Amino acid sequence: MARTAIIEAAGGPEVLKIVDREVGEPGPGEIRIRHEACGLNYIDVYQRSGLYPLELPHALGMEAAGVVEAVGDGVTHLAPGDRAAYASTPPGAYTEARVMPAAQVCRLPDAISFEEGAAMMLKGLTVQYLFHRTTPLKSGDTVLFHAAAGGVGLIACQWAKSEGIRLIGTAGGPEKCRLALEHGASDCIDYRSGDWVSQVRALTDGKGVQAVMDGVGKDTFEGSLDCLAPFGMMMSFGNASGPVPPLDIAILGKKGSLKLTRPTVFSHIAVHETCQAMAAMLMDKVGSGAVAIRIDQRFPLDEVRAAHEALEARRTTGSTVLTI
């Protein structure tokens, strides 16, 4: 049996409850993993609230790290006793142990802690595809990244710096801006203090940025389009402020033949070999010290409601983990 955080109905943090669930044995292509820590991500909020519907009841959580206890037939890249971490579907990472598909589970180097592994996989793989798989970016390019002091944002700030890419961030308040700057952002704009679009334009001498990486959604979408240089790429990868309203695509032409994509990490990691290669790049970045995983909040699994409340209230910086 394993203590597991589930929901039986969509709603606020109050719908989360801890139950005991049977773990079982792995079948073909599966593993059983015992977790040391689980990551907290905004997609968990979307699933809990019903924005991304789940078949209920359902466990939550998309990433974790721990030790492989058993492997099913056909699993060759993992063995019992391996340290491992993952971002993967289906949800169910908020638990002491689980049986799950093995394809997106990756070996975790000894130099990376379980908490770091749990905090970095979904966020770090997101940053990897934003910088390497979405649109060509090179040293000297400039990108705009919203919520630059969050878990994804702090990884992105460091990733950009490691590759010679200028990252202009936005964040809510001077302390969060300072944090983004400390992690490699070239500039960070407090979006509460004025017209951030004009400030981005001023910082780029009116030229705009090559790409916008926007996990905020509704509140920043229109302004983000106005920050792009002609032929720039708008990457709308999240909805922290709510979903983006329907769009008349003609506006993309009027604003400079812009490009728009709504990617998800799970599309990018769906193929086993691709996922493992992306994870290897991420782990190299972390192992080399180019990217440090900052964990600013830790909650015991039993306090998962409080963790969700803090995340939704934007009281968090860096990454948040649930400890087992």
Cα–Cα dist 131/301, whole Å: 32
Q: How far apart are CA 198 and CA 192, in angstroms?
A: 13
CA 12, chain centre distance (Å): 21
Q: Which domains does the chain possess?
A: 2-123+266-323 (3.90.180.10), 135-262 (3.40.50.720)
pLDDT band at 242 (very low <50, low <70, confident <90, very high): confident
**What mean pLDDT is predicted for residues 41-60?**
95
Tell whether the model's pLDDT for residue 239 goes beyond 90: no
48 pLDDT higher than 90: yes
In order of 46, 200, 239, 243, the CA distances from 51 in angstroms are 5, 31, 10, 9
Give residue 162's pLDDT band: very low, low, confident or very high (50, 70, 90).
Answer: very high
Q: Which of 60, 62, 38 is nearest to 114 (CA)?
A: 38
CB atoms closer than 10 angstroms to residue 29? 15
Residue the block writes with tokens 């509460």: 192
For residue 193, the model assigns a pLDDT of: 86
Report whether pLDDT(256) > 90. Answer: yes
Examine the pLDDT at 240 and tell me if it is beyond 90: no
Q: Does pLDDT of 243 surpass 90?
A: no
What's the pLDDT score for residue 228?
98
Mean pLDDT over 104-121 rounds to 98
User: What pTM value is reported for the model?
Assistant: 0.94
Q: DSSP for 96-131? A: SEEEEESTTEEE--TTS-HHHHHHHHHHHHHHHHHH
Q: Looking at the chain, list the stretches that DSSP marks H as alpha helix, in order from N- to C-terminal side.
A: 42-49, 114-132, 151-162, 174-182, 196-203, 221-227, 250-254, 265-268, 272-288, 304-312
Confidence of residue 241 (pLDDT cuts 50, 70, 90): confident
Percentage of residues in the chain with pLDDT exceeding 90? 95
Q: Are 199 and 186 in contact (CB under 8 A)?
A: no
Instruction: Name the percent of the chain lying above pLDDT 70.
Output: 100
Whether the pLDDT of residue 237 is over 90: the answer is: yes
pLDDT of residue 54: 97
Please check the confidence at residue 120 and state whether its pLDDT lies above 90.
Answer: yes
Residue 199 CB contacts under 8 Å (≥ 6 apart), including other chains? 189
Region 125-149: mean pLDDT is: 97
The answer, yes or no, to whether residue 136 has pLDDT greater than 90, is: yes
Mean pLDDT, rounded, for 244-262? 97
Per-residue pLDDT, 318: 87
Query: What pLDDT does residue 30 have?
Result: 98
Give the residue with greater pLDDT, 194 vs 49: 49
For residues 258 and 75, what is the distance between their CA atoms, to the nearest angstrom?
43
Instruction: Give the pLDDT band (50/70/90) at residue 69.
Output: very high
Q: What is the mean pLDDT of residues 83-89?
A: 97
Mean pLDDT of the chain: 97
pLDDT category at 276 given cuts 50, 70, 90 is very high
pLDDT at residue 317 is higher than 90: no
| 11-38: pLDDT as tens digits | 999 999 999 999 999 999 999 999 999 9
For the stretch 298-307, pLDDT in tens is 999 999 999 9
- The pLDDT value recorded for residue 134 is 98
